[in-house]
A = this chain, B = another copy of it.
């Protein structure tokens, strides 16, 4: 299995380089379980979902704490048939394929309830894609039903769903959506945007 994300931080300030570099320190606590490579468009972070999502949460929270209007953008993927197996991605976080949708939804809701607050607000918008299966819409509809009961659901929009709340439960919700829906051997991706301190919300 191969899992990871292409991640970018967009601070809407003249001091954007400083915000990015100081926020990257939040990844230090996770670096021994991730592989990280950067170019001028994005940073590749390879690792299992149970490390990837908390690492993204901490990166986001550190950037949001600067007070700047900042957006974290990520293209997440697991199980892409074009990528090699990588031992660093070994995970126990993916749902059992024999488990019915309803019990996967319950497990996802319990994980959010167990999740501590992070002390930073997060407005997220994301799309979940389940590929190579005839019933991909069943998995997506099952995921949307879970999201509506997650406590972080804001609203549905065309092509995506909005979440809002503390960064802790918001990123936990995203992790559950990524791990509990779509087969564990399938190809699942998420297109994610998380916004902090937008002047349009004030």
Contacts and interface: CB of A to CB of B under 8 A. Distances in A.
Contacts of A40: 123, 195, 198, 200-201
A132 interface: yes
B137 A81 contact: yes
User: For the side of the interface on A, what is the size category?
Assistant: 35 or more
A154 to B, nearest CB: 10
A160 B6 contact: yes
A16 B14 CA distance: 9
Nearest to A19: B12
A153 to B, nearest CB: 15
B132 A6 contact: no
Interface in A1-59: 2, 4-6, 8, 10-14, 16-17, 39-42, 44, 46
Interface in A88-105: none
Contacts of A199: 17
A191 B8 CA distance: 13
A179 to B, nearest CB: 17
Nearest to A191: B191
Given A2-B158, A75-B127, A132-B134, 13 more contacts: A5-B159, A6-B158, A6-B159, A11-B12, A13-B16, A41-B195, A41-B198, A80-B159, A127-B189, A129-B189, A132-B133, A132-B136, A132-B137
